[in-house]
Amino acid sequence: MLALASDLGHLFRTEHDRLMRAMRRLVGSPSTAEDLVQDVFVGLLRGNAFADAENKQAYLARCATNMALDHLRRERARARYICGSDLAGCEVACPVPLPDEALQGVQELALLRRTIDALPSKCRVVFLLSRDHGLTMKEIAARLGLSDKTVEKHIARAMMQCRQALRAAGRAI
């Protein structure tokens, strides 16, 4: 039991922040994410399967994802109970996506991140300045010493690569 607690303590210190970010993306609430991460670690401390897991980080990530999806299912069921048998008639907007939609979003984001990382460096920098930092094409051109047309071509190329990656993965665009 002491070794298990030590392993979990180490994993908590190294993986807590990563798990919190992933949980916040899935459930949309920092306080709910914190509660779920804590519940994951408490559950692992009580269970025996963690001690037998070969890849403890992967096991932890799977447990956290399952916990988040279970939470989202419970919230959806609660909303159905409150609003009646069909959510279509419910006038209360639910900002939480369905579990499948949340998982698909996480997968698409990872695919797009890999696609962007594979772009040529100048193209990647231009695209990230545009999308992540919200700079205009003129601002990017001035900052990098490029023509407006070159910036436009880099952004178009990056967008095309992202669309192709999504299509290749069978995602609707």
pLDDT tens, position by position, 27-62: 888 888 898 888 888 887 777 666 677 787 888 888
- pLDDT of 155 reads 94
Say yes or no to pLDDT of 67 above 80. yes
Output the pTM of the full model: 0.45
CATH 1.10.1740 residue ranges of the chain are 1-88
CATH 1.10.10.10 residue ranges of the chain are 89-172
**SS (HEC) of the chain:** CHHHHHHHHHHHHHHHHHHHHHHHHHHCCHHHHHHHHHHHHHHHHHCCHHHHCCCHHHHHHHHHHHHHHHHHHHHHHHHHHHHCCCHHHCCCCCCCCCHHHHHHHHHHHHHHHHHHHCCCHHHHHHHHHHHCCCCCHHHHHHHHCCCHHHHHHHHHHHHHHHHHHHHHCCCCC
**In terms of pLDDT, which residue wins out, 57 or 143?**
143
**In terms of pLDDT, which residue wins out, 87 or 49?**
49
- pLDDT of 57 reads 81
Annotation: CATH topology of 1-88: Rna Polymerase Sigma Factor; Chain: A (1.10.1740)
CATH 1.20.58.220 corresponds to the domain 89-172: no
* Per-residue pLDDT tens digits for 14-27: 888 888 888 888 88
